[in-house]
Copies of this chain bind each other. A is one copy, B any other.
Amino acid sequence: MLVLDNDDVATAPAIKAEITAQHTLHGGTLYFLKHDSAATKTPMALSVFVPEGEGPFPVFLWLSGLTCTANNFTEKAGAYKKAAELGLIVVAPDTSPRGEGVANDDAYDMGQGAGFYVNATQSPWAAHFQMETYVTRDLLELIGAQFPTDMSRVGISGHSMGGHGALTLAMNHSNLFTSVSAFAPIASPVHCPWGQKAMAGYLGPNHDAWEIYDAAMRLARGKALSYDDILIDQGLADPFLDTQLMPHLLEQAAKVVGQKLTLRRHEGYDHSYYFIASFIDDHLEFHAARLKT
């Protein structure tokens, strides 16, 4: 039974969400929502797919990459047929706060559309760019309160900047998540131009603060040992592979602490949503196997 109904406005204690669009697909329902986040102090947009049936359902949380909104994954990944079959709720939030009064940068790799899933400490970003708290608190509270979820069974995944987000949030909040995977993640922001720019901007010059958001470094400290395996898919025709992503650093870090990590390298695949669409079913099955037990 859905807590949300078709009134276009759903309420729960202290949590409100507006349904901005709604579609039936694969026997389930896809909602586009807007809700006010206390963390970002802005409205935040997201999509939620709810499969047919009573629930409670486990949750697959997807974090998107640079320049994306909630829509990219929702429209392009082709994830919902398998999610419907497996009985997974699928949640895709936006990649940053947005709007007038929210700081921005002319480049695509900083500011709106590029929140990096960190809690910014530096001006002008700190006022709204609190994406770690947004995802791990406000978003999960909303989903838990408004949908037929079992919040003790949540898996997290994402692409590129969102792969970095999935890995680091899974490691820094291992109490919240049961399973984690990523597509072409930024494995070590400390070691790549995208990461260095974002970390310096959001967190300032102190590298101690950066390391908390560096997946390879967290992995090497054993922060993922509660996960029995981590699935990573990487295309070998991805133009960002060597300069920005560097998934081999995850392999190396995993080896240091005896963390199981499955890194699959795919000949010919690039960085696009066509790559994600090709392997998303494998990820959904990877998570479902862990979320159902």
Contacts and interface: CB of A to CB of B under 8 A. Distances in A.
Interface stretch (A60-68, A107-115, A171-179, A268-276): A268-276
A25 interface: yes
Copies of this chain? 2
Nearest to A22: B270
A180 B278 CA distance: 27
A25 B277 contact: yes
A72 to B, nearest CB: 9
A266 B24 CA distance: 10
Contacts of A25: 269, 274-275, 277-278
A24 B270 contact: yes
Interface string A17-33: 00000011111001000
Given A75-B75, A75-B76, A23 B270 contact: yes
Interface residues of A, number: 24
Interface in A65-119: 75-76, 78, 80-81
A76 B78 CA distance: 7
A237 interface: yes
